[in-house]
Structure 1
Amino acid sequence: MGSKTAVEVRDNTEERRFEAYVEGSLAGFSTYELNDKGISIMHTEVDDAFEGQGVGSELVRQMLDQIRQTADLKVTVLCPFVTTWLRKHPDYQDLIRR
């Protein structure tokens, strides 16, 4: 298997989404809503050109790391992709609103 695709994730607060960039190109995003209870992850999309390269997984990992580091927010997950990712990564369960 080749080297892992380098992904940079940025929080675009104006669009209310975390965006994944690969070599400067927008490769995917996760939309969110902020409310008094925390942050709700609504939907995640990865561009077809980047499917199968781990972009979605890296997007979720960096997004949750940024949420953990920058805000004391509990996360509500409404996105099936993020829900599936979290099942495989129990070390992120502390962020999730029960």
Structure 2
Amino acid sequence: MPKPIDRLSLLQGLTARFGAAATERDWMALALLDGELAAQLRGWAGSEAWSAGERQALKQLRQIHADTRGLVDAELGQVAQLLRRLTDNQGRWMAYAASADWEERT
């Protein structure tokens, strides 16, 4: 029977994977990792005491998670700004499309 992965290894692995996904701006991977982290944390609730190494690894994971959340928030802000600009210019695009259609008919 394989030995279960210890908590320290899981924390370090999650930290590395969050960092890699953030660097790549892999939003789907980050979403999956966020869910995986939530499940792990629920599973660890009420478990045995954490070692100093595990607490340090959790602190690092907490930091990369916060940094990643900031990156995602910034990206969402840029997408929202782009959508706002597209919506603001919708009338111009429609007028352009209508005029192009009118020119084709003449």
Structure index of larger Rg? 2
TM-score by length of 1: 0.33
Structure (1/2) with the larger strand percentage: 1
With structure 2 as the length reference, what TM-score do the two structures score? Answer: 0.31
**Which of the pair has the greater relative contact order for Cα pairs under 8 Å at 6+ separation?**
2
| Higher-helix-fraction structure | 2
